[in-house]
Structure 1
Amino acid sequence: MKRVTGKKGVRRWMRPIGLLAPLSLGLAGCAGTLHNRWASETDTLSNWQDSMASMPVEIHGHLEGKDAATQATDVPHGITTAGYLAQNPGQPPLDTLPRILLYVGGHQIPSDQNYCSTAPAMRSMTVKPGRIDVAAALCDGLRLVVTARYQITPQSLDREGEAAIVDQMKEHLMFALATNPKVPSMGQ
């Protein structure tokens, strides 16, 4: 592998992370968790970022007064499993496609590598009073790639809207990809 040195090489390598770092703070004031331990050496930012914008967002969970199907209509490319089956008869099931899973509200999320399975084992979690839990996973079919989880305030959800929160969660997933320890940095 050719060693990249000098200012130009560093700038080229830092550009994706430099662009994502401020974006990853989009949920300011919220403590969050990113996990990329399931990512493989081929799960690079450049391999996923182009498809991220148009990738299906499979909605789970609920907000007060909204079920998952209603939430899906508020999110670009939002879908539920039932909605996907109704809109795509005869097509491969949703769980065979690359997609983002989004769990909003509630007090349960899938346990670790079970996020992308058709019937994930759920685990309970603690949600701080006055917060809404938002958990996202990037799935390649049934394979989990990366996850992100944040707790937001209802006011930030009202102010920014569900589509903006989904965009922020996508940015967190991309940041997790950009920091994948299994992908050698260009300077090595």
Structure 2
Amino acid sequence: MPGIETANRVSRKKKIHNACDFIYNDPRGSEGLILKARLLGKRMKNMPIADVEDYLLKVAEKDPDKIIDLYTGTDTNLRLLFVDALDKHVIIIKNKLYMYSDNVVLGATDDAVITWMKQSANKKVLELIRRDTYPEMYKKEEIDDSLLDGEPTSNDTKVVDPVVENAIKLNAVTGKRK
């Protein structure tokens, strides 16, 4: 039926327009566009921003839902973790499967891995992936914990003015206070 086909075409064009609007109005500007391209599997860090924008617009024309999901979806942090873990070889591809630590199969596609990461039964392994991917984040927490425990650290040493130090010693010996 001609009316239904036309309505579908118009609906698709509206979706494409919506996806393009997200790209044009990215709240993080060029940094946000580079991040979105990276989440789509394209490393474009040193590319001109026009090339990044062109790539994202082409994706929007082919699959507007993918762009809309990047901007409105709730799994962006997991996708970023996945991409970073791949870059740092924490997650590897072995026999066409994404794997962690040679014995944990995460899935065959990036969407399957994200679904695996969302499952509550995999929380402990997901935390291990986070620790291996972002070790600097966890080292900082350990340092903060040691400060709370009262253990001396290099931050606890203070430089005291020699004149003040002598006055303190003199007051301690004579027992005088000003």
Normalised by the length of structure 2, the TM-score is 0.23
- Tell me which protein shows more helix as a share of its residues: 2
Between structure 1 and structure 2, the one with the greater Rg is 2
Larger RCO of the pair (alpha carbons < 8 Å, separation 6+): 1
